[in-house]
């Protein structure tokens, strides 16, 4: 999965952290079905809260945008998070007897606070590109994970609905649109050779930090 031209450059610059994220033990447990249900639910409750704050961060991107096309793309991602992705969390949790109001009022884990507030701060302290570099691992990493697990899925895992959400055409379309948004935003602000910009290394560093925070987020969910 490339999702545009800039994402593969940031992914390569993140080095081993990217593989640590996308091939984490938690991810492999989702794929082969060995992840304990209790660990999955602990993760899912935290992930619901995560998506609340990620929606806020994409809404911040609407206000940091420079063009109507950027505003539309960011607003569409807010919609995809609030109205599509979070539905899965609410549905699975409802079947386990956890209501949406319980989800909304759950206590945030420190790893969740660290990640979501890092991304929001990238947007508040920086500009649109800082925010995109911090947001990209979330959207595009799950796109890669969904594609890989979806291809390998034998139907034996109880997490097939989770995998299908990220392997699904709707989520993959969001990934392609976010990849195109990032390519256009980088070209607009840094020109045709962004690696030559003095900002390039800081953007790569933001992407890598967010990737490491994804690794910690999986670690939070692992069996205790």
Q: Is 142 in the site for ligand NSP (CB under 6 A)?
A: yes
Site for ligand NSP in 77-106 (CB under 6 A): 85
**Closest to 145 measured CA to CA, from 44, 8, 24, 36:** 24
Q: Is 169 exposed, middle or buried (0-12, 13-18, 19+ CB in 10 A)?
A: exposed
Q: For 155, left (φ over 0), alpha (ψ -120 to 50), or beta?
A: left
Q: Is 138 in the site for ligand NSP (CB under 6 A)?
A: yes
Q: Is 139 in the site for ligand NSP (CB under 6 A)?
A: yes
Query: By CB under 6 A, which span of 14-22, 24-32, 122-130, 136-144 interacts with ligand NSP?
Result: 136-144
Minimum distance from CB of 147 to ligand NSP (Å)?
A: 13
Minimum distance from CB of 181 to ligand NSP (Å)?
A: 15
Q: Is 177 in the site for ligand NSP (CB under 6 A)?
A: no
Query: By CB under 6 A, which span of 12-20, 43-51, 69-77, 148-156 interacts with ligand NSP?
Result: 43-51
**Closest to 69 measured CA to CA, from 172, 185, 173:** 185
Minimum distance from CB of 182 to ligand NSP (Å)?
A: 15
Q: Which two tokens stand for residue 188?
A: 């607009």
Pick from 119, 153, 217, 220 the residue near ligand NSP by CB under 6 A. Answer: 217
Distance CA 18, CA 129 (A): 20
Pick from 40, 47, 78, 157 the residue near ligand NSP by CB under 6 A. Answer: 47
Binding site for ligand NSP (CB under 6 A): 47, 50-51, 85, 138-139, 142, 214, 217
């Amino acid at each position: 999965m490339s999702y545009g031209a800039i994402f593969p450059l940031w992914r390569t610059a993140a080095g081993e952290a990217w593989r640590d994220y996308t091939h984490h033990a938690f991810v492999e447990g989702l794929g082969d079905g060995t992840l304990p249900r209790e660990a999955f639910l602990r993760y899912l409750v935290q992930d619901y809260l995560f998506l609340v704050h990620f929606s806020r961060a994409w809404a911040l991107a609407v206000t940091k945008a420079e063009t109507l096309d950027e505003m539309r793309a960011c607003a569409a991602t807010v919609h995809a998070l609030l109205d599509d992705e979070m539905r899965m969390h609410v549905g699975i949790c409802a079947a386990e007897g956890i209501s949406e109001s319980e989800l909304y009022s759950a206590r945030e884990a420190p790893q969740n606070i660290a990640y979501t507030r890092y991304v929001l701060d990238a947007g508040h302290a920086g500009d649109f590109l800082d925010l995109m570099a911090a947001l990209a691992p979330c959207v595009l990493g799950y796109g890669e994970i969904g594609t890989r697990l979806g291809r390998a899925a034998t139907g034996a895992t109880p997490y097939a609905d989770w995998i299908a959400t990220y392997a699904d055409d709707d989520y993959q379309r969001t990934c392609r649109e976010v990849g195109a948004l990032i390519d256009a935003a980088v070209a607009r602000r840094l020109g045709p050779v962004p690696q030559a910009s003095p900002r390039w290394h800081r953007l790569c560093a933001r992407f890598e930090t967010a990737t490491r925070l994804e690794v910690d987020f999986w670690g939070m969910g692992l069996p205790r």
